[in-house]
Amino acid sequence: MNAPLAFEILCRCGSTRARVGRVKTAHGEFDTPAFMPVGTQGTIKGLLPPLVAATGAQIVLGNTYHLLLRPGPETVSKLGGLHGFMGWDGPILTDSGGYQVYSLDDISSLDDDGVTFRSVVDGSEVVLTPERAIEVQNLLGADIIMALDDCPPSVDPQAAQRAAERVSARRSAARRVRDHSKRLDEAMDRTARWLDRCARAHARRSEQALFGIVQGGADLDRRDRSASQVCAIDLPGYAIGGVAVGEGFEEIVRVVRHTAPLLPEARPRYLMGVGYERDIVAAVRAGVDMFDCVLPTRNGRNAFAFTTTGSLRLRNAQFAQDSAPLDEACDCPACSPARHAWRTPEGRPLSRAYLRHLFMAGEMLGPILTSLHNLRHFQRLMLDIRRAIREDGWAEFGRRWPSAAQGLGEQPRDPAA
Amino acid sequence: MNAPLAFEILCRCGSTRARVGRVKTAHGEFDTPAFMPVGTQGTIKGLLPPLVAATGAQIVLGNTYHLLLRPGPETVSKLGGLHGFMGWDGPILTDSGGYQVYSLDDISSLDDDGVTFRSVVDGSEVVLTPERAIEVQNLLGADIIMALDDCPPSVDPQAAQRAAERVSARRSAARRVRDHSKRLDEAMDRTARWLDRCARAHARRSEQALFGIVQGGADLDRRDRSASQVCAIDLPGYAIGGVAVGEGFEEIVRVVRHTAPLLPEARPRYLMGVGYERDIVAAVRAGVDMFDCVLPTRNGRNAFAFTTTGSLRLRNAQFAQDSAPLDEACDCPACSPARHAWRTPEGRPLSRAYLRHLFMAGEMLGPILTSLHNLRHFQRLMLDIRRAIREDGWAEFGRRWPSAAQGLGEQPRDPAA
């Protein structure tokens, strides 16, 4: 059996646990720390694949849950797998579908066998077991696939209570959540048992790398136990799940700083669903290599632009006559069309006023351009993070990225001060 | 005063009135016969300008009506004119706004002075006079601008009756349409008087070419009279209006075949808002040089794909597993990604099944890809039309474009038959 994935650490930071590396897959390589745009339904919303690639993205994420319901993994497989289906020949990662099942759906039953829920597409009953989650991902054909985990409600007791009430009120057949602590233990142990079943069910081990997921919520002892259970199975990579499910920045950092070093040093570490720039910077410094988040695209569709110095809400009237680009520091197609061989007069950037006009007029190009800009913003962040690691230049990094500086943990030292 | 536009006829067809030419403007050239994609609100819906240019479009159209209401011509002017505002440095044509006022709006008054209507954006009262229509277009700064005309209801008596009832029922202050024939005469004469006022009001004559519009409905005598009125004013180009407002193919052809030769031979002739492939082919053979139509983009957004052999309704279940591209003959980014430096596995085209999936899942990329495909379809049509003119090769053209062959007037002769 050939290894489906090779991870090489090219450089380690002199002052933190951060490292620069490269992951090789059957569909090409990507540099780490890496940010993966989310292509939920076989498309990064509104963006042709070459535009996604032009942002610097080297790997994209697909959501198993959505593709399972529509058009179905068998259809995707017939049409060339997810790579051929969506026209992306670089690396792809698919999640297991579990997270969406727990957060979006009518769950009718959840037990050791798996989870049964109703499809939001056609109301049909769908069963997701560890074996089926892997079968579906084998059919989709991504380069990295994720084990099915049991995702308990948020560690925030109030949020957990609300979630429990919602489930019990709506689904009499659903398991009642009586004891949050007991539920977390159950989920953690089940996640480990399911990982074992996922690893056994995996039918394309030489082509697709299966990652396990460490759970355990906000309790660091549980994180220890989960990491030891999950890492007991030798896998090409490991992920930290259950983070950024509603808790604040300090809490995210506390859990990630504790958990990342528990994962094998020689394997890529993936922090699922995180996050803002400061979260990513803090996690990189804790030793994390891979990230995904819907923020750049989801917020972009809602007229929210990330910039080096903070965010812009483009519907705000203050931008109605603003001739400045979204971010002077950015080189995306909106901010720096000349770099992308656009035919704009004098290579001028598009204005904030134009972007605002597109949103006010309900034009698709608003979400498209702002998503592109935000994705490029996050890829520029990753490029600069890799540079900061190589040069151990976090103080300079913090000055270039005020919006991310909180992730440095302490105020960046200024050698000139 | 320099001429804002130069038109050179490069080649005449041996058997029809068709000609191949080139129009030079302050923002570059375009080949004729030309098809202009419609960018209503300062954007070709869903498409970045470089993607529009990649379809082969050399000139785009903007709608004065929409830009007048939002964001306002003064704002567009401050932000670099329409070219700078939307990031398109090639030629642009703007219409006068009249057509949309008559077709979309609550008209409160229409008389020799101009037309008063309520804005669909904020309900405010807006007055459009010939002078204001030109002032607005002077501010937008397109290379070709259109005179404000008086657009009477369709010549279809039933449609005219319905329109008249609608107006009188909804707006007691509106002018009652008592006599359709009298109304057509009035509109025609008013259009001529307004053209004169537009020409006098035009403040950027060395930069923007003003086109007059021939009206007259389906009555060929009225077309004669309107053409003689409009062409009495020396202008850089002339348009045929009031066509394809609901009538069938034969009727369009009858009016265009009669009217096009009435316009000056040495000026570009523009048939407004037309149309399907067969309409364009028939009009080119009658001597028309310029076209615009929302069909490729509007239909594309509604999952309707044009192909060389006919049309596809992509939501149809028959395409759910169809691995074929939209059109084997097409070289758009969806049908032939390898030509566009896409990173698709093995340069494979995107499948009809994938396009259908995007529409079923409500993904923006469905409208985007199908609009791109349709625009490329129309640009390929124009390329092949120019080739047919140069080679007098209409029979071969008809075999390559079954969907357009009806526009040839007779069945293409097959030399081999």
pLDDT recorded at residue B233 = 97
- Residues sharing a CB contact under 8 Å with residue A157, sequence separation 6 or more, in sequence order: A180
One domain for residues A76 and A210: yes
My answer on whether omega of the bond before A153 falls inside 30° of 0, hence cis, is no
Band (A176; pLDDT cuts 50, 70, 90): very low
Q: Do B71 and A357 touch (CB under 8 A)?
A: yes
Best to test chain B binding among A43, A75, A322 (most B CBs inside 10 Å): A43
Contact at CB, B348 and A46, closer than 8 angstroms = no
A69 in any annotated domain: yes
Q: Pick A75's closest partner by Cβ from B27, B89, B353.
A: B353
Domain-embedded: residue A216: yes
Contacts across the A-B interface (CB distance below 8 Å): 172
Check residue B340 and give its pLDDT: 84
B104 has a pLDDT exceeding 80: no
Tens digits of residue pLDDT in B153-196: 664 455 555 555 665 555 543 444 456 788 889 989 999 999 99
- Across A250-266, average pLDDT: 97
Residue A291's DSSP bridge partners are A35, A271
State mean pLDDT over B304-328. 97
Of A66, A323, A341, the CB nearest to B50: A341
**How many independent structural domains does chain B possess?**
2
Q: What is the pLDDT of residue B115?
A: 93
Q: A82 lies in a domain?
A: yes
The domain boundary, picked from A242, A262, A293, lies at A293
Position A415 confidence tier, pLDDT thresholds 50, 70, 90: very low
A317 and A241 co-located in one domain: no
Question: Positive or negative, the Cα torsion across B77, B82, B85, B88?
Answer: negative
Domain ends where: A273, A293, A313?
A293
What is the predicted pLDDT for the residue at A162?
56
Residues of A noted as catalytic: 95, 292
Residues in chain A: 417
pLDDT beyond 70 at A155: no
* B367–A368 CB contact, under 8 Å: no
Across A162-171, B111-120, B235-244, least confident range: A162-171
Distance, in angstroms, between A37 CA and closest chain B CA?
A: 15
pLDDT at position B243 = 92
d(CA B28, CA B207): 12
Residues B132 and B249 in one domain: yes
pTM over 0.90: yes
CB contact at 8 A, A25 and A3:
no
Residues of B annotated catalytic, as ranges: 95, 292
Among B245, B269, B299, the domain boundary falls at B299
Contact list in B for residue A80 (CB cut-off 8 A) is 323, 345, 348, 351
Of B32, B83, B97, nearest to B58 by C-alpha is: B32
Q: Average pLDDT for residues A247-257, to the nearest whole number?
A: 94
CB contact (8 A) between residue B70 and residue A360? yes
Q: Which residue from A43, A361, A367 is facing B70, i.e. has the nearest CB?
A: A361
Query: Is the pLDDT confidence value at A336 over 90?
Result: yes
Do residues A86 and A155 both lie within one domain? Answer: yes
Question: Does A53 sit within 8 Å of B79, measured CB to CB?
Answer: no
pLDDT band at A414 (very low <50, low <70, confident <90, very high): very low
Is residue B339 domain-shared with residue B219, that is, in the same domain?
no
Query: Looking at the domain assignment, is residue B84 inside a domain?
Result: yes
Segment A120-134, tens digit of pLDDT:
899 999 999 999 999
Which residues in B lie closer than 8 A to residue A91 (C-beta atoms)? none
Using an 8 Å CB-CB cutoff, list chain B residues near A353: 71, 75, 79
C-alpha B193/C-alpha A332 separation (Å) is 49
What range does the domain containing B151 cover?
A: 13-299
A contacts of B338 (beta carbons < 8 Å):
none
